[in-house]
C-alpha cells in the first residue's frame, strides 16, 4: 500500500524566513512519481513539481527547491525568503502507474503555511 505523510499540519513564519515542508512516502513499487501542489486561499490546486523515482537530482525553481532522497523516502520542499503570497496549503502526493495508463494520486494531509508580514 502507498502512503504519504506530511507531519507538519501548520507552519507559521515571518516574511523573508526560509521554511521547509516535510514529506515522507511509502511504497513498494520501484517506479513511482512524487508531486507537490499548492492550494491558495482561492481554492484551486496548482501544480508545482513532478519527480520520478529514478531522478534523485534536487531541483531549484526561483525561491522554491526540492530535496528528493530515496534513502529516507523523503521529498521535502523549501521556500527561501518566504513571502505573504506563499501562504497556502501545500500537498505532497505519490502516484504509482498502472500499465502506463496513469495512476491515482495519494495525497498527504497537507501543510498549511502562513507567512506573516
Partner 1 sequence: EAGVTQFPSHSVIEKGQTVTLRCDPISGHDNLYWYRRVMGKEIKFLLHFVKESKQDESGMPNNRFLAERTGGTYSTLKVQPAELEDSGVYFCASSHGGGNTIYFGEGSWLTVV
Residues that bind partner 1 (CB under 8 A): 33, 35, 37, 42-47, 50, 52, 91, 93, 95, 97-110
- Extended strands (E) in the chain: 3-5, 10-14, 19-21, 24-26, 33-39, 46-52, 59-61, 64-69, 74-79, 88-95, 105-107, 111-116
Tell me how far apart the alpha carbons of residues 81 and 16 are, in angstroms, rounded to a whole number: 4
CB of 77 to partner 1, least distance (A): 16
CB of 95 to partner 1, least distance (A): 7
Q: Which is nearer to partner 1, 13 or 105 (CB)?
A: 105
Q: Which is nearer to partner 1, 67 or 103 (CB)?
A: 103
Among 111, 117, 116, residue whose Cα is nearest residue 11: 111
Tell me how far apart the alpha carbons of residues 49 and 8 are, in angstroms, rounded to a whole number: 20
CB of 13 to partner 1, least distance (A): 21
Q: Which is nearer to partner 1, 42 or 71 (CB)?
A: 42
CB of 3 to partner 1, least distance (A): 11
Amino acid at each position: 500500500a502507498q502512503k504519504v505523510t506530511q507531519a507538519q499540519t501548520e507552519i507559521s513564519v515571518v516574511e523573508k524566513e526560509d521554511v521547509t515542508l516535510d514529506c515522507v512516502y511509502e511504497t513498494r513499487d520501484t517506479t513511482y512519481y512524487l508531486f507537490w501542489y499548492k492550494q491558495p486561499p482561492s481554492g484551486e490546486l496548482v501544480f508545482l513539481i513532478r519527480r520520478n523515482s529514478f531522478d534523485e537530482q534536487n531541483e531549484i525553481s526561483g525561491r522554491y527547491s526540492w530535496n528528493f532522497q530515496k534513502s529516507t523516502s523523503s521529498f521535502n520542499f523549501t521556500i527561501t525568503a518566504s513571502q505573504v503570497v506563499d501562504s497556502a496549503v501545500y500537498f505532497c502526493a505519490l502516484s504509482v502507474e498502472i500499465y502506463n495508463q496513469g495512476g491515482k494520486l495519494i495525497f498527504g494531509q497537507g501543510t498549511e503555511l502562513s507567512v506573516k508580514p
